[in-house]
Amino acid sequence: MTLLAVERIKLFTTRSPWWCSAVTLAVTIGFAALIVGTAGDEIPITVRVTQFGYSFGLAVVMVLAALAVTTEYRFGTIRTTFQAVPNRTAALLAKTGVVALLALALGEIAAFGSWALANVIRPQDDLALNTVAEWTNVAGVGPVYALTAVIAVAVGILVRHSAGAISILLIYTLAAESLVQLIPNVGDDIHKWLPFNVADKFLTGGMAGAGGEGPPVSTSALSAGWALAYFAGFALVMLVIALTTANKRDA
């Protein structure tokens, strides 16, 4: 508990987490409001469409999580941390846990905020959360943000440079996974198993929004439950690799 308290204090005494948190909520809820508010009356708004801004917030969460660890390497405070806590694994796990909890909270606030605002803008549409899939589409954003934060922290530990870690994360999520589909013959098969495509399957169940509105549909062959387990497993593998590397090299 002491390590968690220390990491919480270190995280919230810098400006970047506050700014990133504010931007995450603003872009996620803002883009959802933009899509819902500009849609014509002839286009029914679904629960899935209210989460249109999910991927924009996800990108900011990755930046927040990467900065949480790379900033310490940049200013050398990570050496002080490891001197105070010789067990590097425990120290880095505490940091990861604090960042993941913040990402979880941001995801839930952003998702339910987007859904609530859509209800205000389009009261004539049925946006009630009546099914498990609809609840997952909204409440599932938090767990996906949390696991994404774990992945981003792991990349930050491995790369140790803010610009490098953020570039890798954003290029991969915003471009690389989609470009894989262009590989002849095997591209689509590989894409089905890429982590963020699988995470989208957990959130959406592979269902498109009404009229084709909303984020692209996941091509993963897994069920929603197995998709979440797969994404969590990927995050765990990344974290284990990062912790192993951190314990073997100089701070």
Backbone angles phi, psi at 208, to 5 degrees: -85, 160
Band the pLDDT of 251: cuts 50, 70, 90.
low
**Sign of the C-alpha dihedral computed for residues 133, 196, 190 and 155 taken in this order:** negative
CB 88 within 8 A of CB 247: yes
Q: Rounded distance, CA 27 to CA 24, Å?
A: 6
> Residues 223-250: pLDDT tens digits?
889 999 999 999 999 999 999 999 988 7
Ranges of each domain in the chain: 2-248
Terminus-to-terminus CA distance in the chain, angstroms? 24
- Going by C-alpha positions, the residue among 137, 108, 126 that lies closest to residue 48 is 137
Residues in the chain: 251
CB 62 within 8 A of CB 156: no
Give burial (CB, 10 Å; 0-12/13-18/19+) of 41. Answer: exposed
pLDDT at 207: 58
CB 143 within 8 A of CB 231: no
> Residues 7-60: pLDDT tens digits?
888 888 888 899 999 999 999 999 988 988 887 776 778 888 889 889 999 999
pLDDT at 206: 56
* Per-position b or e across 116-144, b if 16+ CB within 10 A of its CB: ebbeebbeebebeeeeebbebbbbbbbbb
> Residues 175-216: pLDDT tens digits?
898 899 889 889 888 989 999 999 999 998 755 544 445 556
Q: Rounded distance, CA 58 to CA 151, Å?
A: 12
Residue 146, classed as helix, strand or coil, is: helix
- Looking at the predicted structure, is the pLDDT value of residue 1 above 70? no
CB 205 within 8 A of CB 191: no
Q: What is the dihedral of CA 189, 193, 197, 200, to 10 degrees?
A: 120
pTM of model > 0.85: yes
> Residues 98-138: pLDDT tens digits?
999 999 999 999 999 999 999 999 888 888 898 898 999 99
Tokens encoding 32: 């959802």
